[in-house]
Structure 1
Amino acid sequence: MASGLFHQIQCPICLNDFTDPVSLPCDHSFCRRCITIDMEINSDACRCPECRSTFTRREMRDNRLLRNIVEAARRHLEEHETLRKRVDRTAPPPVTQNNSPSDLMCPKHDDEKLKLFCETDLKLVCFICREEDQHQGHKFKPLKDAAEIKRTETKEARDMLLEEDQALTDLIQKQREEIRMTKERSKVLSAQISAQFEEMHQFLREKEEELKRRLEKEERELVDGMEDTVGRIEELLSDGREEQGVLLSALEIDRCDKLLVWWSEDGQSLVEGIQCERLPKAESLVSLSENLSLGPYESYLQFFVWKEMLGIIKPVPHRHILEDKNDPYLKVFPSGRAVQRTTKKGVFGTKKGETSFAFIKESFTHGQHYWEVEVGEKSSWAVGVTDHDKLNTALVFTSDEGYCIGKDDDDDDDDDEVVMIDIRDKPRKIGVYMDCDRNKVLFYNADNMSLIGKAECNLKMPHSLCLSPGMYQDGSNSDPLTICWY
């Protein structure tokens, strides 16, 4: 491929146009087959053939943009080559030192020079050829005039190719800049993730130390009491054993007179004192058997810590309330968090007068915003965002048709855009993420944060959360939709 794009779309290994290009973390690109063979040859470590930086097989990524650029450049240069060959076929041989003036003589009419150009047949002709039947009605121009016109057209075509060449080259550079910015953005987001997790880790570490200190304090208080009890018991045990020794010594006195002397002096008071005690000493003391406990933290530690952690989590889903517009189809609860369908009849999901939506009071034109809505086991509902003039984008569920993301302009032309969605696990709670800066709305199963679907929409006008509790269905779908607060 002969073009200024040549080096941009050439694999550094095989030196041919990229085939199924892949990119490495270092931003260098290669044909998938070429880099695979290179990795097999250098099986000890995967290194980029250009910069020698290491990578893993899992880090290789399809470079779809480069593949598309290569295909576009190939088509562009093939068209250029086709045009060049066409010019070569029709152009006369250049007059050089090796070309004699006879090269421009008419092959059919001797001694006649080719002085005309037939614009109809695109051939050089002489004056006699012009008068022949095969050229009747054709247009002719002198060679100099025709050559000047074709030279101008050729230059214009070349300029167009050069302009397209430059546009493709600029596109490559722009995409590489986008790749660089994406990587920088990824680093910023990674640092943001680390910082937010570090904040939670710090909270958990501090909470862990606090609970351990509380446990140690309770342990000290209980153990100190038990140690005091052990001291008193040991003191009584020592006194009892001393008295046992005295009594044992008295029992070993053989002479009656000596035994009676001991009795009269010490024995009587000692024995009577022991006998007069109301309870044995062991029964007068109680061994402390307090069970060390953390109270509810012992069994529900993670739950209570999670509740406390909510105080440091910022931001949390918005704590917005719904406006009561006195819609006869809707009942907004006094708290402003829930909306319920009344018993009035109406067809769900069609015209404005028959589709009832409640809106939150706040509207947004920039930034990112997130809400969670409890849908429970309802058989029909809709959750989305709106500009208050028309429903912009909503996730809709009916038990008959399933889930879909719809863009409703509230007109009667039936041109509303609807995309059906297949969901395996029925969500009980829907997360709505509105990114005003990127004009995107995403819907999640808030129980596990799995993505349900997303839609592109124009969020330049103020938008807010909107809810529809669906049809009343004779009371079977009367449960409210509730905005979750944390």
Structure 2
Amino acid sequence: MASRQQVQSLTEETICPICLDFFADPVMLECDHNFCRSCITQCWEKKEINSCPECREEFPEINLRINRALANLAEKARQIKLNPKEKESKLHCEKHQEELKLFCETDKKLICLICRDSREHRDHRFLPFDEAVEIYKDQLKSSFDSLTEKKSAVLETEQKQKLKISEVREQSSSLQTHITSEFTKMHQILTEKEQRLLRDLREEEERILEPMEKKLREIQENLNSIEEKLSKLQKQMEQKDELIFLKEEACWERRISDEDHKLSVSAAVLSIGKYKDLLQYRAWKEMLNFINPGKSLYINFSDCKSSCEETKLAPRVPD
């Protein structure tokens, strides 16, 4: 009859690492590790890449080899475990082959009556098998109940912590929306101010340039007239006939005298101060009319005041 150690060794070799039971239809992978066919199939169904559960080696293709020898060995181990005689032998001392009737509280192990009287267990405390089972079951139940209560308390604490985290996240999301909204309003105010100033600048530019461009056209027309007369005078100077020369010369002299008049330059400048000086301050001042402070808002105008003092302007704080 197989010894207990032999049975245990045989049992360990015939246990599937996945289901922890005797192999059923065992198959071998390319890495030489064995598993139940159904176990490895179900394991791979949950993964994108097929790999060995023990050594983690990956397999691009499924190649399962039937291990008939291991299947026979697993069946024999199953029969030995189910054998009543073998099952009964587990309740006997390995050293003395006597029935295990006592529990050594000192060494925390089952012993037979011969072990109790041996030098190894001298002065140790013993309990009957059934009484030891009852005592330790009660202790385990007490520990189980205590851990159950702790688990409930931890679960409650976990829920509270999750609630606090959720509250912070919701608050953060709300504040992000608020910040975006408020800055959108300020961007809109600044954009409108920018567009208004640009429009005023374009209108002022057109208003100033209109008479100046009109004067420029007048100057250019006068210039064209002079150039035309110069051309004619040049031809007159080249006239060979003296009679014709004197006749035309008298007309030219009178005409030039009649049309002679002075031209002036039209000048004007843009309102530079309106579009350049303290532009940021005036835009900020205009934004104050749109600010609606909350109850907890504290506005410190010290920085504004110092900036205004540098530009020799007193700050105006809205009512």
TM class by shorter chain equals 0.3 to 0.5
> Which structure dedicates a bigger proportion of its chain to strand?
1
> Which structure dedicates a bigger proportion of its chain to helix?
2
TM-score (norm 1): 0.32
TM-score (norm 2): 0.47
Larger Cα Rg: Structure 1 or Structure 2? 2
